[in-house]
Structure 1
Amino acid sequence: MDDLKISKKKPSYPINSQLHKYLQEYNRNIRLPIFYEDLLRFQGAVVVYDKNDEDTLWVRVYYNEFERAEIDLSLKRVYSNLISDGNETIFKYLNIDAIDFCTFGNSKPFRVKVRNILNDNYTYFYVKKADASRVYGLELEHMLSPYNLNFLVYKDTLIEEHIAGIPGDEFIKTMLPECNASEKSQIAKEFVKFNERCMIRLLGDMRSYNYVIVPTHDFDHVVFKIRAIDFDQQSYEGKLKIYRPQFFKENFKMVELVREKIQKESVDQYKIEERSIVARRMISYQDRIGELLDCMQSDTLSSPRYIDMLKEEIYQYTLDKAFRESTNMGEVLKNALDFVKRNYQGISMNNFS
C-alpha cells in the first residue's frame, strides 16, 4: 500500500468570467445575502467534541449580539435559496442552531445547522470560499456520478448542501467488522466502482475521511453506496495514483476486502460496468459537459509540472497520443472522458493485485 503524498497546500483558483457565465446558465449563480468573509467575524469559539469526547476538529463560533440576528436571517435566506425557491414564509419555522468552523484542510468551511422548530428535524449546509477546482468537482459529480448535488455560487462564496452518510474512516473502524459476508461483498463491489469513477473523472484525494458510506435498508437487506464529499482535489495533482482511492493507506481495509471477496474477473467486470454507466451519463449531459470542459480548458487548475506528469502517466496506460498533446488539466480530463466514451467496452486500466 502506497503512502501517497498530497500537496500540503493546494492553491485556491478564482472562478473566472466564463465559469461564472456557465453557473448562471444552469442556475448555480445567485445573489446571496452573506459572504464567507462575513462569517469570519466571530468573537470566539469552543471546541466541538463527538459522542466519545474526541476533538472533531470543528469549533462552534459565536458572534456579538448586534450581528447575530442579521447573520441568522441571512443564513435562513441562503438555506431557502438552496433547497427551495427562496420563499421567506418558511423563516418563522427555522432556527439557526449552530455555526461551526473547521480548522482542518484547505477549504476551512463553515457548517450551518438549520432546525425546523415545528418538528425538530434538522439539516446542514456549508459556506466555503469559492474555488474553481471545487466547483468543477461538484459539477462533474452532479453529472457523472449517480447523485445530484445542490450548490450555489456568488462572487467568491460557495454554498454546498450536506451529503448525508457515515464518514468512511468511522465506518471502516467501527461498522465494517460487524457486517456480514454478503454485506462485505457488496461494499467491496461498490469500492471497486467508486475507485474507477474517481479515476475516470480525475477526482483526487479520496482518503477514507473524504467520502461517506450511505446504507439504505431494502426489504430484506442493506444496500451500501459510497459518495465523495470533498472535491478540492479535482484535476490538480500530477500522480495518477492520487486519483485512485485504492492506493491510500487509509483505504487499506477496503482494498483488503476487495481481494478477499471479489475475484479478478469480477473486478474487471465491475470496472467495465462503471465505465459504461459513466459513458452513458456523458451522452445524457453531452452539451452541458461540453460547456463545462470548455471552461476548464480555458482555466488554470494546476501547475505545468503536475500537468506534464499526469498526461505522461495516463499516456503510459492508454498509449493515446492525445494525452501527450494536452496543454492543461482541462484538456487532460476531456481526453480522459473521450477515451472512456470510445473504449469503455472491455477496457480496464489496472486491478487490485
Structure 2
Amino acid sequence: MSEDHATVRIESNKADTEQVDSVGTTAARSTGVQSVVVLLLPPIVGFDASIPPLLLGEACDDIGERLYDVTTVGLSTGAVATTSGYGWVAEAGLEAIADADTVIVPGTRFPPARSDGILSDDVAAALASRRPDARLVSICTGAFVLGAAGVLDGRRATTHWRYADDFRRLYPDVDLDESVLFVDDGDVLTSAGLAAGIDLCLHIIRRDHGAAVANRVARHCVVPPWREGGQAQFIEHRLPVEADRSTAPTQQWALSCLAEPLTVDRLAAHARMSSRTFIRRFRAETGRAPGAWLRERRLDLARQLLETTDLSVEVIAARSGLGSADNLRHHLRTELGMAPSAYRRTFRGV
C-alpha cells in the first residue's frame, strides 16, 4: 500500500481510554493574518501537501478576511516531485521559513530523513532559522523530518502507523504513539497518515480561532468538523458479519437532540442493537466510549453557542445537554482551561 492511499483504520488498545490528545485551547495564537509555510521535500505525498493550503487557506473571520497566508516552499522555486508522478510548484525557496508563524511538513520520502535519520545541510539550516516562537507541524511521514531536526526528542508524537517501526529505529528518543490521529504538544503538532492531516488542520484552526471558524471550514470542505486526536487510527479485527450495521445514523441522530437525556440504552435502541453490541461497535467506529463522545459533542455545541450567540451560560448549558452552568464551567475548564466568559472574550471579542 502506498502512502497516497487511505489509511486502514484498526482498533487500538488505547481506544478504551478517555484521553483527548491535545493540550487544549487556551487562546487564539495571535491577532491578524498568520504566516504559514508548507515545506515540500521531494518526493512529497501530494494529498498531504494539499491539505494545509486548502483548509487553512479557507479559514476566514466573520467579515470574510483570511486568517492564514499559506505559502508552499521548496528546495528551490519550481516543480517538486510527488509520490504520485505529478509535480507541485513551490511558490518560494527555503528562506521563507525564517519569517513564518507556522511551518508544516507534509508526508515525504525525502531520502536523508526517511532512511538515515538526518537532514541535508540546506534543510537543516532553514529549519534552524525559524523564529523561536514558530510552531512546527507534520502530517504523516513529515514527522521523520521533524525527528531528524531533533525537535521531537523527548516529546510525544505520531506518524503513519505503517512506518512506526522505521521511525522508532531512526528516532528512539521520541515518544511515538502511532495509535492516535494527532498529537498536540503545544508548539509542535504531529498527525497520523493522510486524512488525519485534515483533522489536525481543523484542530489548529479551532485552537487558534475557535469552533465556529473551524466548523465553517469543515462545511466548505464537506468533512466532519471533529475527530479528536485520541481517536484510534485503525481497526485491528474485522467486525463480525452479524454486526455489520454502522452506528453512524445514530451518531447523526444524537447530534440533533443533544439537549435530551441520551443513555447508552436509548442510543442502542435507536441503532437497533443490544447495548453491549452498540458499545463495541461504537468504540470500533469512533475510538471513543459513547459517554465520552457525547460529552465532547455537547462541549463542541456549547463552544459554538458561546462564540456565535449572546445566550446566557445557563441557557447554553441546557441547549447543549450539559445540564447546569456549573457543569458547563467544569467541563470547559477541564478540557480547555478556560471559563465560559474568558472563552467568549477570546473567540468573540465581547
Query: What TM-score results when the alignment is normalised by the length of structure 1?
Result: 0.27
Higher relative contact order (CA 8 A, sep 6+): 2
Q: Give the TM-score normalised by the residue count of structure 2.
A: 0.27
Choose between structure 1 and 2: higher strand proportion.
Answer: 1
Higher helix content, 1 or 2: 1
